[in-house]
Amino acid sequence: MLENILFDLGGVLLTLDMGRTRSAFEKLGWKEEDWKGITHNGYLIFENLEIGVDSPSKFREQIRKILPTNPSDNDIDNAWNAMLIAFPVEIVNYLIELKKQYRLYVLSNTNELHLQRFREIFENTHGFPLNQLFEKCYYSHEIGFRKPNPESFEAVLKDVPLDPAKTLFVDDLKANTETAEKLGMKVLHIEAGTLLEGLPAYLAMHC
C-alpha cells in the first residue's frame, strides 16, 4: 500500500523556463559558442553548484570568467534565477489534499541561489512557507548528490527512513525514475510541461 510520495520540484511542482536564463546570460555577454555542446545539467560550473562543491561566490567568479561584461552579483543571480516561474495554485491545492492521505517529500537537483528564490516565490504567492507542504525536503547541494545518482535516493530512504515499496517517486526526467525504480520504488514519469497531470489517474489505478 502506498504511504509516501517523493516529488521532484522543477518541472513537476514548479514551472520552469530554461530559455529565460539562457537569454538573460546572453544579455550579459554569454556567446553562442559558450553554450555549444553543454546543458544545464552537464556543465561543470552548474553541476558543482548543485552538489554543493562550489559556493554561490565561487559560482559567480566562474561565470565572470566567461562573461566580458563583469556583471554584479545581482546581475548573475537574477540571470540564473530567471528560469524559476511559479508554483501554480492548483498544484499547491492538490498537494494540500494529498497530504491528508500520504506523507509528502521533495528530492530536487537544485542549489543555494535557486532555493532562496523559489522559497520567496512560493511564500509570496501562497502566504506560507514551502516546507509546510512536506514532511521534509532534500536538496542536492545539501546532501551532496544529484539525481540520477543512486546515492541521492538512498540519502532520503535512509534518513526518514522510507520503505521503497511503499514510496512513489514523481519526476519529469526518465533517467531519474529509472534509478528510483531500480531501488525498488514505484515511479511516475511526468511528461515535460504537464506538471502533475498524470498523478490523479495513477493514484486511482494503483492505490
The residue-averaged pLDDT of 14-30 equals 93
Q: Are residues 53 and 139 in the same domain?
A: no
Q: Are residues 93 and 75 in the same domain?
A: no
- The rounded distance, in Å, linking the Cα atoms of 75 and 149 is 32
The confidence band for 43, taking pLDDT boundaries of 50, 70 and 90, is low
The confidence band for 107, taking pLDDT boundaries of 50, 70 and 90, is very high
- Answer with the residue of higher pLDDT: 46 or 181: 181
The residue-averaged pLDDT of 162-188 equals 97
Q: Are residues 76 and 110 in the same domain?
A: no
- The rounded distance, in Å, linking the Cα atoms of 23 and 18 is 9
Q: Are residues 25 and 58 in the same domain?
A: yes
Q: Are residues 94 and 72 in the same domain?
A: no
H or E stretch at 9: none
Boundaries of domain holding 103: 4-16+86-206
3-state secondary structure labels for all residues of 162-185 = CCHHHEEEEECCHHHHHHHHHCCC
Q: Are residues 181 and 123 in the same domain?
A: yes
Residue 179 in contact with residue 153, Cβ under 8 Å? yes
